[in-house]
Structure 1
Amino acid sequence: MRIDDPVVLDLTGVTEKAALMDRCADVLALPDWFGRNWDALADCLTDLPEPVTLVVTGWQEYARASPREWRTAQEVFATAVDESPTRLMVLLSLGESFGGSDEPPAASLG
């Protein structure tokens, strides 16, 4: 797993669970059976086809708008990392963007 080849999950503009699930599905190229719920996300995160360093950016708006959901999302990410520490690393970006530019990189698995 290399930190210089991250997959960026940009949550800018996300304020609800459905949008978070859509972004996860798109960026991580989750399978068609992904049910867009917490259990399905946990299953998919522990079954990624290759090691992933996931950098979550723009999460602050979601955390303010849906604090309970954001706590659940953090728990799902943390549990997945604990279960697959050599396959998944999740980093939260504290700034507005990642990679030193005004626009986040358009990295994805798909």
Structure 2
Amino acid sequence: MAYVFLVLAIGSEVFGTSMLKATDGFSRLWPTVACLGGYVLSFVLLSQAVKHIPIGVAYAMWSGLGTAAIVAIGTVFLGESLNLVKVIGLGLIVGGVVVLNLGGAH
């Protein structure tokens, strides 16, 4: 169940981050409410996940997979560029998450 909380936390964080541009610097009410709501829900779910998953592993997955998802969303929906350097950086992030998971299951 802890990994379900973690996946939901990642999804909530990705939603909140995806809403950042729409907030227009937190000057638009409903996108701001949605953004902050996504972040609050994400932290609530993450706090439940770390009851059973080591904090380093959970945070690495939360931040790393969230980063990868946001890059994909930015590329597909927000017209942001994706180049070889970004792909290599994402590969390193995901690789680091994998390594932490392999070493963190104690």
**TM bucket by the smaller chain?**
0.3 to 0.5
Q: Higher helix proportion, which one?
A: 2
Determine which structure has more spread, i.e. the larger CA radius of gyration. 2
Higher relative contact order (CA 8 A, sep 6+): 1
> What is the TM-score with the length of structure 2 in the denominator?
0.32
